[in-house]
């Protein structure tokens, strides 16, 4: 055997083989034989593989991105759903496809463009200047060498070049934009009447077995979703507080510690008369004002009414008419000399002249109420509430861990936790995974309740935190699987629905008959309105002005061919609320493009550029996808472990 | 390059497993075939070098084209800003564009685009330049030149996706020139790629222009069926279809 091989090996065949084997090593190096064959890829795209490792990386960075964008407000279950995983995998496939597309077509950024691109990347700028050290640091922090990063950027830029080419070269032709503008601004002259939904209601009689038949035919529509009643215990600050009776000592202690809260500060009311002296006034003016102030002061002290004097003499426009009254003066409101005087006066005292930057003041303290301490008896309830709250909070903190442990260590009962912590075991009403009341109105409670451990294994749920001051644990009490509702449960509902349907049907047939007669000239619009005692209304002519409750009517009106000039076309449409709208379309007027406002033109132009640009780019990507040969291993995507 | 390492193993490894008689045989064999092997290996290395040279030539071409294309993009963007600040040329155009028939397209745009289309035909930037040239032409109401640029892509590009884009845009230019029959002929293709909604819409436009309302309506309907119902495109196309009655 060996000799045979040796003989052959010295033949020319061997040499050809040796050379053939050598070539790939020379071109691609030996290392490609040692790389990444150890696991099956999650997808193959035109022969290139996407590894499980790359997928998991991408998955976790996509999750980070979603969490950041929604500020953590995202259900982790959704981020681990098959749908999310598949979406990430699909986007990786489509990125890979575009990468292959631009590579195959030799899209390639020049060095100058690449440099420009990197130099203007905001992450690498310090004080609006490119910083080479920052650049290297960021790269190495993210595990990139400059070469690798530059190559990746070249690729990204090429992909962007493709997208930009298609969007930047989009255009809108004049006839196209004018035609659409004219359609958007089109007006239609329409008279309409609403034939009421209940017109035939009285005539509808259901066949005896009709309800049962409908029920049988539509069983799926009459499902009662799976529902659940749970037993639960709740540890909450509020409930703990309600059970605490503070002792007299506690009350008086806290009252003493927080005296400030129950002290009514003293209040002072003052009036003043201002003799205004400007900052640049000369000595003579000043002296004159001072004299005046002195004489008014004398008058006031002699018993003249201060308020009257203020009205006569004060230069303060704000208080003059009120007899100089400034109301309650609190500390920090007035300029310093004024405040000092006010807070040094006795009730009824008159002082002055006090000099401030405004001039000279005469001040009268009109009322003074001393600081007042509210006695404990008056504020007992307030203080008690605080004691309860404070003790409840520390109790809650103490019990919290015990609660969690007791619930976890006695997974088959809540009784232990309830007894140890003196909690009451309560029972919820029925609730479904989607909706509930009372404790089940809290989504985390419903989520925990419909968890497998609770539902199938009959175990306690974990302790569920509701806000910072409530803990709940629950276990299954009664479970009812999804079921069909019985006929008796839904009979009334079905009857009502069938009657409404048949009445609407009849109304619609009648409406269609009226339309046909009107269009054939067999009946006349006016006569019809008179016979039916209806009054027609005019529909707003511009589509945008039609009120939302008439949407179906507008949809119908604006989907008709224009009637021949001078003629009227009749039509009708069933409305959502069961009415039937009958209308006469009299005229269609094209929009006046020349007189439209600029904004409307600009909006439409933007939409049309998107249609011809970004939309075409999307369709180009779809085309690439359509022509590609790729496969995605969905099984592996579903089963791959989660790395966060 | 590690290329020099390749041929050496052969003469050296052979004696290691050969006994004396075999050594003689090998020497004789080498005398006979040695030249052929050296030539073969030489050819192999040569073609590798040639391939590498061709690759790097292509790469240089692409990089140069990319640089020019960047300038073209800037020029087109600048022209668009100019047009916008000068007030919209949209409404009464016919009288105005007679005045500067000479060349409505700004000189740098034309020069850059034509350079790319002639000197860098093997790069994707030739097609991309033609797309931008067509846009600049339409914005200057030079529909015939726009049509020419788009037709150039249909004649020269081997990129299926870009061909679709050029064809659709050419159809809209033809419609603006009231050439509905030419547009219809252009739009009749077997493979619509992922672009079928747009193909149907333009087909509808062409039928309507030719006065065939029923065909237009059904083409529009086919387009609507292929668009997401909440999109702007859907709303605009629905406007067109609804106006034809249902």
pLDDT tens, position by position, A71-87: 766 676 777 788 888 88
Residues of chain A contacting B165 with CB distance shorter than 8 Å: 166, 616, 620
Among A112, A172, A173, select the one facing B67 at the smallest CB separation: A112
Say yes or no: B240 contacts chain A, CB-CB below 8 A. Answer: yes
Place B142 in a pLDDT band, splitting at 50, 70 and 90: very high
Residue among A613, A635, A630 at smallest CA distance from A99: A630
User: Are A106 and B123 in contact (CB < 8 Å)?
Assistant: yes
For B36-49, letters b (16+ CB in 10 Å) and e give ebeeebeebbeebe
The answer to whether the CB of A221 falls within 8 A of the CB of A358 is no
Residue among A27, A159, A42, A21 at smallest CA distance from A100: A159
Q: What is the DSSP string of A550-579?
A: GHHHHHHHTTSPPPPTT--EEEEEE-TTS-
Query: Residue A125: its pLDDT value, please?
Result: 87
User: Are B232 and A611 in contact (CB < 8 Å)?
Assistant: yes
Among A106, A623, A625, select the one facing B124 at the smallest CB separation: A106
Per DSSP, what are the bridge partners of residue A473?
Answer: A233
- The three-state (H, E, C) secondary structure of A354-404, written as one string: EEECCEEEEEEEEEEECCEECCHHHHHHHHHHHHHHHHHHHHHHHHHHHHH
| Residue B227: closest C-alpha in chain A | A615
User: Taking a contact as any Cβ pair under 8 Å apart, which residues of chain B between 201 and 230 contact chain A?
Assistant: 205
- Is the model's pLDDT at B92 over the cut of 70? no
User: Taking a contact as any Cβ pair under 8 Å apart, which residues of chain B between 33 and 72 contact chain A?
Assistant: 33, 37, 40-41, 44, 48, 58-59, 62-64, 66-67, 69-70
Q: What are phi and psi of A478, to 5 degrees?
A: -135, 140
- Is the model's pLDDT at A281 over the cut of 60? yes
Q: Sign of the CA dihedral B212, B215, B217, B222? A: negative
Contacts of A513 (CB under 8 A, 6+ apart): none
Better-scored residue on pLDDT, B11 or A133 = A133
Burial class (CB in 10 A: 0-12, 13-18, 19+), A256: exposed
Cα A369 from Cα A379, distance rounded (Å): 21
Q: How much is the average pLDDT of A109-136?
A: 89
Residue with token string 């009824």: A348
Residues of chain B contacting A616 with CB distance shorter than 8 Å: 165, 168, 195, 198
pLDDT digits over B169-203, tens only? 999 999 999 999 999 999 999 999 899 999 999 99
User: Are B193 and A593 in contact (CB < 8 Å)?
Assistant: no
Q: Report residue A375 as tokens.
A: 């006695």
Residue A578, Ramachandran bin (φ over 0: left; ψ between -120 and 50: alpha; else beta): left
- Is the model's pLDDT at A218 over the cut of 80? yes
Which ipTM score applies to this complex?
Answer: 0.79
User: Are A616 and B198 in contact (CB < 8 Å)?
Assistant: yes
- Is the model's pLDDT at A250 over the cut of 90? no
Q: In Å, how far is B117's CA from the nearest CA of chain A?
A: 15
Query: Residue B164: its pLDDT value, please?
Result: 95
Size of interface A-B (CB pairs under 8 A): 171
For A202-216, letters b (16+ CB in 10 Å) and e give eeeeeeeeebeebbe
Best A23, A619, A624, A625 member to test B by mutation, with max B CBs in 10 Å, is: A619
pLDDT digits over A449-492, tens only? 998 889 888 899 989 988 888 999 999 999 988 888 888 888 88
Contacts of B146 (CB under 8 A, 6+ apart): A171, B133, B134, B135, B137, B138, B173
Q: In Å, how far is A537's CA from the nearest CA of chain B?
A: 23
Cα A96 from Cα B56, distance rounded (Å): 23
Q: Of A28-37, A288-297, B92-101, which has the strongest mean pLDDT?
A: A288-297
Residues of chain B contacting A625 with CB distance shorter than 8 Å: 194
């Amino acid at each position: 055997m060996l000799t045979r091989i040796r003989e052959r090996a010295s033949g020319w065949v061997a040499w050809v083989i040796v050379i053939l084997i050598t070539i790939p090593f020379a071109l691609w190096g030996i290392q490609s034989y040692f790389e990444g064959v150890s696991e099956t890829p999650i997808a193959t795209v035109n022969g290139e593989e996407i590894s499980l490792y790359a997928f998991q990386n991408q998955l976790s960075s996509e999750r980070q991105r979603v969490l950041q964008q929604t500020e953590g407000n995202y259900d982790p279950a959704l981020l681990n759903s098959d749908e999310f995983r598949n979406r990430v995998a699909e986007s990786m496939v489509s990125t890979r496809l575009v990468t292959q597309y631009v590579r195959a077509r030799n899209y390639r950024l020049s060095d100058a463009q690449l440099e420009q691109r990197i130099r203007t990347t905001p992450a690498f700028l310090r004080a609006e200047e490119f910083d080479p050290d920052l650049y290297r640091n960021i790269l190495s922090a993210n595990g990139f060498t400059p070469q690798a990063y530059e190559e990746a950027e070249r690729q990204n830029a090429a992909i962007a070049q493709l997208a930009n080419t298609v969007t930047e070269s989009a255009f809108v032709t004049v006839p196209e934009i004018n035609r659409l503008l004219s359609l958007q601004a089109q007006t239609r002259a329409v008279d309409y009447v609403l034939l009421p939904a209940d017109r035939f209601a009285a005539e509808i009689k259901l066949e005896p077995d009709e309800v049962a038949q409908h029920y049988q035919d539509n069983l799926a529509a009459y499902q009662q979703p799976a529902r659940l009643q749970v037993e639960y215990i709740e540890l909450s600050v509020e409930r703990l507080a309600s059970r605490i009776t503070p002792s007299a000592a506690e009350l008086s202690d806290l009252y003493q510690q927080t005296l400030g809260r129950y002290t009514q500060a003293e209040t002072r009311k003052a009036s003043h008369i201002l003799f205004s002296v400007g900052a640049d006034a000369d000595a003579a003016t000043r002296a004159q004002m001072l004299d005046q102030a002195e004489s008014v002061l004398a008058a006031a002290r002699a018993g003249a009414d201060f308020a009257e004097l203020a009205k006569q003499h004060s230069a303060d426009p704000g208080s003059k008419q009120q007899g100089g009254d400034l109301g309650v003066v609190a500390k920090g409101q007035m300029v310093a000399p004024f405040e000092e005087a006010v807070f040094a006066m006795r009730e009824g005292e008159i002082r002055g002249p006090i000099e401030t930057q405004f001039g000279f003041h005469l001040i009268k303290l009109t009322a003074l109420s001393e600081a007042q301490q509210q006695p404990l008896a008056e504020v007992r309830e307030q203080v008690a509430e605080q004691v309860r709250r404070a003790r409840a909070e520390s109790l809650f903190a103490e019990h919290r861990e015990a609660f969690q442990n007791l619930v976890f260590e006695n997974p088959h009962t809540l009784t232990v936790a309830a007894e140890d912590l003196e909690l009451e075991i309560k029972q919820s009403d029925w609730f479904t995974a989607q909706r509930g009341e009372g404790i089940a109105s809290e989504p985390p409670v419903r989520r925990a309740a419909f968890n497998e451990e609770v539902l199938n294994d009959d175990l306690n749920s974990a302790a569920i935190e509701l806000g910072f001051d409530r803990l709940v644990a629950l276990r299954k009490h009664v479970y009812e699987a999804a079921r069909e509702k019985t006929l008796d449960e839904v009979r009334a509902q079905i009857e009502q629905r069938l009657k409404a349907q048949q009445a609407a049907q009849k109304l619609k047939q009648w409406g269609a008959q009226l339309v046909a007669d009107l269009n054939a000239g067999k009946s006349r619009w006016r006569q019809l309105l008179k016979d039916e005692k209806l009054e027609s209304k005019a529909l707003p002519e511009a589509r945008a002005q039609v009120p939302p409750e008439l949407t179906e009517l507008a949809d119908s009106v604006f989907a008709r061919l224009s009637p021949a000039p001078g003629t009227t076309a009749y039509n009708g449409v069933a409305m959502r609320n069961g009415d039937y709208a009958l209308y006469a379309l009299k005229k269609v007027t094209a929009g006046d493009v020349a007189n439209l406002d600029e904004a409307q033109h600009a909006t439409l132009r933007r939409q049309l550029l998107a249609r011809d640009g970004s939309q075409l780019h999307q369709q180009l990507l779809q085309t690439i996808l359509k022509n590609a040969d790729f496969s995605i291993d969905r099984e592996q995507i579903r089963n791959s472990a989660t790395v966060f | 390059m590690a290329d020099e390492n390749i041929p050496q193993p052969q003469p050296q490894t052979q004696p290691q497993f050969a006994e004396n008689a075999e050594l003689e045989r090998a020497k004789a064999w080498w005398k006979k075939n040695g030249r052929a092997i050296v030539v073969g290996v030489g050819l192999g290395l040569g073609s590798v070098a040639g391939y590498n040279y061709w690759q790097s030539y292509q790469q240089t071409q692409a990089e140069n084209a990319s640089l020019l294309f960047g300038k073209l993009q800037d020029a087109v963007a600048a022209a668009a800003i100019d047009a916008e600040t000068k007030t919209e040329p949209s409404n009464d155009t016919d009288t105005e564009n007679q005045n500067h028939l000479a060349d409505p397209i700004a000189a740098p745009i034309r020069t850059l685009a034509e350079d790319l289309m002639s000197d860098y035909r093997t790069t994707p930037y030739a097609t991309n330049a033609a797309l931008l040239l067509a846009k600049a032409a339409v914005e200057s109401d030079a529909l015939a030149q726009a049509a020419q640029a788009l037709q150039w892509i249909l004649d020269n590009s081997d990129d299926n996706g870009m061909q679709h884009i050029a064809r659709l845009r050419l159809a809209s230019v033809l419609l603006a020139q009231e050439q509905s029959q030419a547009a219809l002929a252009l739009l009749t293709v077997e493979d619509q790629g992922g672009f079928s909604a747009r193909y149907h819409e333009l087909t509808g436009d062409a039928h309507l222009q030719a006065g065939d309302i029923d065909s237009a309506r059904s083409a529009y309907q086919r387009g609507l069926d292929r668009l997401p119902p909440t999109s702007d495109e859907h709303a605009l196309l629905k406007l067109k279809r609804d106006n034809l009655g249902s």
